[in-house]
Structure 1
Amino acid sequence: MTSSLLLAFGLVLVIEGILPLVAPQAWRQTFQRMVEMKDGQLRFVGLASMLAGLLIVLLLH
């Protein structure tokens, strides 16, 4: 169980590192837009991301 969680965490880090590596300017612009969002908007983005990830996990498991 612990090794699966560590593997998942490692994959998240790899995936999140792709955009800054490949397109740093686009990543910077996206990050700047997120900084300018209101708290409610950021929470919605976080919730949508979590639900999408959960859906993927449930479909693949």
Structure 2
Amino acid sequence: MWPDLLRAFALVLVIEGLLPFLAPERWREMMQRASVADARSLRLFGGALIAVGVVLLQFLH
């Protein structure tokens, strides 16, 4: 199980690094907008991402 978790973490790092690598100015703008968003909006967005990820994992498994 640990090797799979490490692979998943490595993939997250690769995916997270794509936007700042390919479009650093656009990434900076998005981070500035996120920094002024209220906590409720960020929490809802994070929850939606988690839900989509869980559904996708179930679909692929």
Q: Provide the TM-score with structure 2 as the length reference.
A: 0.95
CA–CA separation in structure 1 for the residues paired with 2:18 and 2:33 = 19
Q: Are 2:7 and 1:7 equivalent residues in the alignment?
A: yes
- In structure 1, the partner of 2:33 is 33
2: CA distance, partners of 1:54 / 1:27: 25
Q: Following superposition, which runs of at least 4 residues in structure 1 exceed 4 angstroms of deviation? A: none
Structure 2: 5+ residue stretches without partners: none
Partner Cα separation in structure 2 for residue 36 and residue 3 of structure 1: 37
Aligned residue pair count = 61
Over the matched positions of the two proteins, sequence identity in percent amounts to 44
TM-score normalized by the length of structure 1: 0.95
